[in-house]
Amino acid sequence: MNKTWLIIQREYLTRVKNKRFLILTFLMPILVVGFIAASGYLAISGVEQRSIAVIDPNGFIKNSLKNTNQISFSFPNDVDTTNYKEKGFTDILILPEFKKNEKSDYILRSQKSMGLMLQESISNKINKAIEDQMLQDAGIQQSILDSIHSASNVAELKAYEDKGKSSKESNAGLAMGIGYASGLLIYLTMFIYGAMVMRGVMEEKTNRIAEVIISSVKPFELMMGKIIGIGAVGLTQFILWIVLIISLTSVAMGFLPADVQSQVATLQQTNGQMAAGGMAQASESAMKIYNIQHTIATANWPLIIGCFIFYFIGGYLFYAALFAAVGSTVNEDPQDAQSLMFPITMPLIFSYVITTMVTQNPNTPIAFWASIIPFSSPMVMMARVAYGVPSAVSYWELILSMAVLVGGFIFTTWLSGRIYRTGILLYGKKVTWKLMFKWAFKKS
């Protein structure tokens, strides 16, 4: 055990002290926060502006085509398809005279192609105007219609998880994002750190360093030392990323204008009780920040972080042992490693595909079984846990998944250890999976 600990220390310290590790660890949070900030800035400032001239023989469309932050509608009398560009318009909308129960087409001519979302927005506004006019023709006054439209926009869906006698607000969009991000991170780390284990074993074997180490350390101790040491590097990196991202986000919040910070604090103190009055007095920026913070607070972060650490470690141990076994059988030809890695990487890729589906449908039969089987459970269960426990995942499912994963990595570690002890000292022979299974299950 003492020798295994020494190997763990060696693998951990040599990588943590590496300049690439330090640069990546401290640069990644800056890039993440910068990417989020840049995305928000582009979402606000990168909006396409369109100025549309409308030719309307009906007369009632004008009241419904309201200007937005992207589209400005005008109803000039001296503009047509030949001169709208010279008049300073980007588009011209030519409407026919709409007749009752007759389908009519209208034309949009543009200097540059208009995006699908903007086209659908214009189409919806025109259809709404026609609907309102038909209701007015049926005897309903415009003032009544305006009152109905205003009143119909006050409803907002809020979902809650029932937990015995209490309930907690939940957010499906946030759960989907957390599940997808967690699954993606675990997927990437399986490849990155699993391949790191394999390359480390291959280098020691090809450089004949393993022969020297094996003289004083058992092969299984060497394999476990490398797996745990490199896994600890990954876990350290994740913890540092979380701490740095939270710190950078807090610092970024400090650069907000004082009045915005004050409005956000007021909204947080009222806890949504003053939604009608408090929100009306707050700026749009303060409202957005409050809504983001409120949405993030709906997640059960202690459970999510705890499960993420468990499934990261469990999934890493499960796959890293297999990567180590492959690395021990490879000689100088890297193509041998690629062919032997295929049966390991395919379950990973397939699990990621399932995860993308489970983030939208967490309670299907395939979601249940994929969250139990250890080949896919690290990613798939995280996608389900984000939706809540026990609302989406019952406690017995979570415990069963964890127990099966623990059993799975114990089995793969045992299996890989038997392959490793033979393969690490084998040179000059091409190894196949069939031969590896013979090593694994032969009688000692």
- Indicate the DSSP class of residue 25: H
Q: pLDDT value at position 212?
A: 67
Q: Are 343 and 269 in contact (CB under 8 A)?
A: no
Angle at Cα 46 formed by Cα 45 and Cα 51, nearest 5°?
Answer: 100
CA dihedral angle for residue 356, residue 362, residue 368, residue 373, rounded to 10 degrees: 30
Q: Are 260 and 286 in contact (CB under 8 A)?
A: yes
Q: pLDDT value at position 400?
A: 94
Q: pLDDT value at position 51?
A: 84
Q: Are 320 and 230 in contact (CB under 8 A)?
A: yes
Backbone conformation region of residue 49, classed left if phi is above 0, alpha if psi is from -120 to 50, else beta: beta
Helix/strand/coil for 295: helix
User: Cα–Cα distance between 436 and 404 in angstroms, integer?
Assistant: 24
Q: pLDDT value at position 406?
A: 92
User: Cα–Cα distance between 112 and 114 in angstroms, integer?
Assistant: 6
* Strand 166-170 versus strand 107-110 pairing type: unpaired
Q: What phi and psi values does residue 168 have, to the nearest 5 degrees?
A: -135, 140
Which amino acid does the sequence have at 293? Q
User: Cα–Cα distance between 386 and 18 in angstroms, integer?
Assistant: 34
- Sites in the chain below the pLDDT cut of 50: 272-280
Q: pLDDT value at position 251?
A: 75
Q: What phi and psi values does residue 102 have, to the nearest 5 degrees?
A: -115, 130
